[in-house]
Amino acid sequence: MNVLFLCKGNSCRSQMAEGFARKYLKGARVLSAGSRPEGYVHPKAIEVMAEAGIDISGQRSKGIRNLPPLEWDVVVVVCSEEDCPYVPGKYHEVWNVPDPFNGDLALYRKVRDEIECHVKRLARRLP
């Protein structure tokens, strides 16, 4: 199963979703990308994910055009649909999670926890 998480900068939200999906979606190929990638994973995202026991420091920020040519089984837009172009997939969801980019650690933690809940729900629905 190929799972893709999209957001605008691929620096925070989609990176956190990718990290949680690697934990909860065993056996799935999980990637993330952005419509306008920042080019790095935000240090605060790395920090709050480490607090949750997940290391995303090795993940890389990338654009949609840099994705391998895969057929996506699941495509999740973590931000709003307006911020990300359509990527074909068998199943689509939009989570519309707030962007913590310029926020403090408390906001990053809140966003992290919201994303974890979404990923757990997604994992329960998928085969």
DSSP helix/strand/coil, 13: helix
CA 24 to chain centre: 13
Active-site annotation holder among 12, 78, 84, 115: 84
Count H helices and E strands in the chain, helices first. 3, 4
How far apart (Å, rounded) are the C-alpha atoms in residues 24 and 20?
6
DSSP helix/strand/coil, 91: strand
Active-site annotation holder among 79, 97, 111, 119: 79
12 flagged as catalytic: no
Active-site annotation holder among 6, 7, 16, 115: 7
Residue 124 buriedness (CB in 10 A; 0-12 / 13-18 / 19+) = exposed
79 flagged as catalytic: yes
Active site (catalytic) residues: 7, 79, 84
